[in-house]
Structure 1
Amino acid sequence: MLAILAIGTPAGASQAGGLYLYEIGTRDAGLASAGWAARAADAGTLATNPAGLARLTQPELIVGAQPLYLDLEFDPDENTTVAGSDGDPASWIPSGGLFYARPVNDRWAWGVGVYGNFGLGIDYGTDWVGRYYVDEVTLQALAFQPTLSYRINERWSIGAGIVGLYGVFDQRSRIRNLEPGTPDGRLKIDDEQFEITGNFGLLYEPAAGTRFGLQYLMETKLEFEDNPKFTGIGPLLSQVLENAGLVGAELGLDLTYPNRLILSGYHELDNRWAVMGNLGWDQWSEFGKVDVLVAGEDTTSLTFDRNYEDTWHAAVGAEYRRSAQWRFTGGIAYDSSPVKDRYRTPDMPVGEAWRFGVGAEYRLREGLTISGTYALIWSGDLDMDVDRGPFAGRVSGKYSDTAIHALGLVFNWKY
């Protein structure tokens, strides 16, 4: 059982406020997500509120690059019992989106999008103090979404998308061998899965220039399976793993892609200024309940509760049209933490998140614009203290000035 516990709790990826990303390769990053479900200004609305497609009057293509820089550094304190280096997994992570939308008539519209909106990854290195918990982890999902939208009347629109979710899970850690002086062993668990979920939207326009939108993203389970790969294991530990039934066994990990609700408003003050905002909820308490199945000579089924909590989201932003060529955006958002300090772990060092976004759009010619965005996702200092006993040791300290920097370059064609 000790060996099962040592590998059984799967990792997430570092994204403050949870693993959902608002930065999906659209201009919304320059608003810190404000107006997410109500702007409905371009083809990217199929991801943020499918009902918004019915507002579009021209075929439209969006290509967006959204590289993310993860600024994460762990500083261990005197309570840490494992020798090794500080954790400094800062890295660039590629991301972006591709969206196409086409009106059928004045009522119907369809679209399709490919975008990454879930997860990140961490690589601490093989000698850091928390290597017996995790030294490298990736949990990411790529969404492929065909979408249909219908305009009921001048005020109401509805929309729905079928989301094909391609999930990737890869976790690696070191294992302390029982023979003195023996180098660490290694453990790797990885799998890829494809699941189907839904993205639904409602849009209400009480007057020209004023909109309210509601998005519901439906939960689904990503059911990863793999035979744990042990290498560099000494004879004593090998016997322990054999006795626990883990050598050659199949490990199943069920992770929940959680429910999400976002309510947004958008209002044009005049022909230059517009203001917008969001309120949202993500059900991260369900993501924290992880079903683990170890199938070998004997089958063991466990549920690990990471003590996660649902998160709350709020955002405000503004848009300023300087001229026919230039438009500028800015916004600020807040997401509560899915986990209290005492439950934070090195595989998913998350906390509350403040987002600050700015953006600029330039019209190159009729129907073609280019936009640049920048978003800072700031979580500051995150305390952590985990102790799994002598097998993995105690790792105590804090992540200092935790942040993600999201740069965006977006091309938008209307024809």
Structure 2
Amino acid sequence: MSKQILKLSLVAAAMAMATGQAHSAAFQLAEQNATGLGRAYAGEGAIGDNASVLGRNPAAMTLFDRPALSAGAIYINPDVDVEGKGALATAGQANGLPTSSQDIADDAVVPFFYYVQPLNEQWAMGFGAFTNYGLSTSYQNNHYAGSVAGSTSLKTLNLNPNIAFKANQHLSLGAGFNAVYADAELIRHSGIAAGNVNAATGGATSLVPTSEFVRLKGDDWGYGWNIGLLLEADEYNRWALTYRSKVDLTLEGEYSSALPQQPNNASISAGLPVGTSSISKPGSLDLSLPAIAEISGFHQVQPDWALHYGLMWTEWSTFEELRALDNQGGSYFAKPEGFENSWRMSMGATHQLNDQLTLRGGLAYDKSPVPENARSISIPDVDRIWYTVGATYALNENLSMDASFAFLDGKKVTVREDSGIPNTPYEFISGGDAYLFGVQMNYTF
């Protein structure tokens, strides 16, 4: 493999850090609780029906007059397929390599925990543990586009203590501190572009389809802050405005690579496969988790009916480039990004069927921040529509259980990525949906 191919493959591997799951824009996660999932997270900062509200608006903790706890998890089942097209896919098929992949986005369970403690009539404090960002995708080890496929994983955990102050009967303010832990791993394999491809005939030589030549693993802690405002016209009408700062991370760990080359005595004596050489050295990857702002509203229009809505803005334009460095500060690569700020619009309704059962439903439109020319198959982010339903069952006056379901409808898109071969990009058709199931327990003391 030429140095040019390796460099482009490293860029593609890192690009996967900036691509999204089928269930939220780019690598952002909306799934901070199961109650809100049932209403498509509409009105999330203004409702305050249980302790999970502090994950979106710390000011809403002043709505509680007793300690409250909420905990649960959401199971995410993306169904995303990718089909290779064009000359390189034809060459891959001719060499017996997979060119189509089904269900590339891995299933995941997203847990969360919240606790609110009123201190007096004006002050409240609380703590949340949840996540706002993550992704996990995997392709076959011998995929024909191994330099841009492979496997990608990003996991984050946000530890978020908060405090709130009720200034008067209409206005509450809140603020919090965010300690975010992130762990990422990128693995790439050589594929059809590792050989000398003749695009006209689809022929290929010197393939090493299962050789792992890029692995980057690292973790880091980053820190940020969040603020919230709750405006209450009366007990039936509330609005919220919240902001969560960006968090800068430097994921430090190990970079390794196996480069095909001519066999030599050193590689043979080291027990390496003939034609390969191993590199392992410290490395780091800079990554910014963007800022989020949201406005939401809640209106109790009837004793048994409430309407809610929300508008979320994510500052993806601050994600200007992706840069990986060695431990001397030298650059493995620097890749400019073309992300744009994105919006998420939602609306929902809640119906109190009786003293024990509450029903809810919602609809949302999630705008992708990834322009067409910045898409990647790990994963190609797309606009999506959320359709959601949920319910709460009160076992007694202190304990209740939530269950919710969401279907996310995503369209098919075309993806083109640089293969390192002039005028011969990788080409793909990708599309898929996602299914989300949430459960949650709520307890007031």
> Quick check: TM above 0.5?
yes
Residue in 1 that maps onto 2:152: 137
The residue identity in structure 2 corresponding to 1:352 is D
Residue in 1 that maps onto 2:75: 67
Residue in 2 that maps onto 1:406: 436
Residue in 2 that maps onto 1:125: 140
Per mean C-alpha deviation after superposition, the further-off stretch among 389-398 and 317-326 is: 389-398
Aligned counterparts, 1:355-366, within 5 A: 355-366=386-397
- 1:353 to partner: Cα distance: 1.8
Structure 1 Cα separation of the partners of residues 286 and 263 of structure 2:
27
Query: Which of residues 171, 189, 212 in structure 1 aligns to 2:216?
Result: 189
C-alpha contact (below 8 Å) 2:75/2:107 kept by paired residues = yes
Aligned counterparts, 1:304-319, within 5 A: 304-319=335-350
The residue identity in structure 1 corresponding to 2:311 is L
- 1:403 to partner: Cα distance: 1.6
Question: What are structure 2's unaligned runs of at least 5 residues?
Answer: 196-204, 267-277
Structure 2 Cα separation of the partners of residues 235 and 346 of structure 1:
28
C-alpha contact (below 8 Å) 1:70/1:405 kept by paired residues = yes
Aligned counterparts, 1:265-276, within 5 A: 265-276=297-308
Distance 1:309 1:139, change over 3 A: same
The residue identity in structure 2 corresponding to 1:318 is A
Q: List per-residue Cα deviations over 1:342-393 (Å, max 9, x = no partner).
A: 3211223111121111101111111111111011222221221112323997
| Secondary structure in 1 matching 2:60 | helix
C-alpha contact (below 8 Å) 1:116/1:141 kept by paired residues = yes
Distance 1:202 1:181, change over 3 A: closer
Residue in 1 that maps onto 2:165: 150
The residue identity in structure 2 corresponding to 1:414 is T
| Secondary structure in 1 matching 2:101 | coil
- 1:288 to partner: Cα distance: 4.8
- 1:265 to partner: Cα distance: 0.8
Question: What are structure 1's unaligned runs of at least 5 residues?
Answer: 240-245
Query: Which of residues 227, 237, 244 in structure 2 aligns to 1:210?
Result: 237
- 1:339 to partner: Cα distance: 1.5
Structure 2 Cα separation of the partners of residues 18 and 181 of structure 1:
32
| Secondary structure in 2 matching 1:227 | strand
C-alpha contact (below 8 Å) 2:173/2:230 kept by paired residues = yes
Structure 1 Cα separation of the partners of residues 262 and 290 of structure 2:
41
Query: Which of residues 36, 45, 53 in structure 1 aligns to 2:53?
Result: 45
Structure 2 Cα separation of the partners of residues 6 and 391 of structure 1:
14
Q: List per-residue Cα deviations over 1:193-235 (Å, max 9, x = no partner).
A: 111111211110012211110110100112112331224x433
C-alpha contact (below 8 Å) 1:47/1:199 kept by paired residues = no
Residue in 2 that maps onto 1:242: none
Residue in 1 that maps onto 2:121: 106
Q: In the alignment, does 2:286 pair up with 1:254?
A: yes
C-alpha contact (below 8 Å) 1:26/1:97 kept by paired residues = no
C-alpha contact (below 8 Å) 2:34/2:403 kept by paired residues = no
Give the aligned CA root-mean-square deviation in angstroms: 2.4
Q: List per-residue Cα deviations over 1:107-138 (Å, max 9, x = no partner).
A: 11111111122112101121223321131001
C-alpha contact (below 8 Å) 1:215/1:262 kept by paired residues = yes
Structure 1 Cα separation of the partners of residues 439 and 77 of structure 2:
15
- 1:153 to partner: Cα distance: 0.7
C-alpha contact (below 8 Å) 1:134/1:171 kept by paired residues = no
C-alpha contact (below 8 Å) 1:133/1:392 kept by paired residues = no
Q: In the alignment, does 2:314 pair up with 1:282?
A: yes
Aligned counterparts, 1:167-182, within 5 A: 167-175=182-190, 180=206, 182=208
| Secondary structure in 1 matching 2:47 | coil
- 1:29 to partner: Cα distance: 0.4
Q: TM-score, normalized by length of structure 2?
A: 0.85
Q: How many residues align?
A: 406
- 1:248 to partner: Cα distance: 4.5
Max radius of gyration: which structure?
Answer: 2
Q: In the alignment, does 2:375 pair up with 1:344?
A: yes
Structure 1 Cα separation of the partners of residues 133 and 331 of structure 2:
29
Structure 2 Cα separation of the partners of residues 251 and 347 of structure 1:
21
Distance 1:249 1:60, change over 3 A: same
C-alpha contact (below 8 Å) 2:51/2:69 kept by paired residues = yes
Aligned counterparts, 1:23-102, within 5 A: 23-81=31-89, 83=92, 84-85=97-98, 86-88=100-102, 89-102=104-117
- 1:146 to partner: Cα distance: 1.0
- 1:90 to partner: Cα distance: 4.6
- 1:395 to partner: Cα distance: 2.3
- 1:182 to partner: Cα distance: 4.3
- 1:42 to partner: Cα distance: 1.5
Q: TM-score, normalized by length of structure 1?
A: 0.91
Distance 1:207 1:236, change over 3 A: farther
Query: Which of residues 3, 7, 15 in structure 1 aligns to 2:10?
Result: 7
